[in-house]
Amino acid sequence: MRWAQKVDTANVADCDIYPKFLEISPETVERTYGDGAYDTESCYQASKAHGSSLISPPQRNAVFHEKALPHLKARNNAILEILGLGGDEKGRGLWKKLKGYHKRSLGETAMFRFKQLFGNKLRSRSLEGQRAEARVKCEALNIMTRLGMPEGEWLAA
């Protein structure tokens, strides 16, 4: 895993950062995972422009659009797939399993690791300083990851 970062002020939503983040992401990224906050037209549009697919569960009140723009086809498909699986919470859960949505938790775990190593606050006062600090910390984590992740094994109790 290679770390990348995009830092902005606290009042900017994740779905607003996502298109900017894809601009700095390698073209080799085939799919991204995000929670329901990423279920926005701008996120799907950015994903299509990047050439990757966004796996994000549609909002519970999501509406299928007959004349959806091409970048919203994936969202329409997700709505139909969830409806086809029952349309309830069980269907949403099954959709998440089928789409590999659990991989999103790997990102959450990586952020936990980042915060355990470096703390959950940036020390720099200026936004530019915070961006530089985050960049340095991400590069340090990249170096640590390249050195090797610990290998574990399951033991019977």
Phi, psi of 31 (to 5 degrees): -150, 150
The structure tokens listed for 80 are 């139909």
Alpha-carbon distance of 23 to 31, in angstroms, equals 14
The parent domain of residue 139 ranges over 105-147
140 and 113 belong to one structural domain: yes
19 and 94 belong to one structural domain: yes
114 and 85 belong to one structural domain: no
Q: What is the pLDDT of residue 56?
A: 92
Average pLDDT over residues 42-47: 92
112 and 51 belong to one structural domain: no
Q: Is the pLDDT of residue 2 over 70?
A: no
53 and 96 belong to one structural domain: yes
Number of domains in the chain: 2
Average pLDDT over residues 128-133: 91
Give the dihedral of Cα atoms 18, 19, 21, 26; nearest 10 deg.
130
Nearest C-alpha neighbor of 40 from the set 25, 56, 29: 56
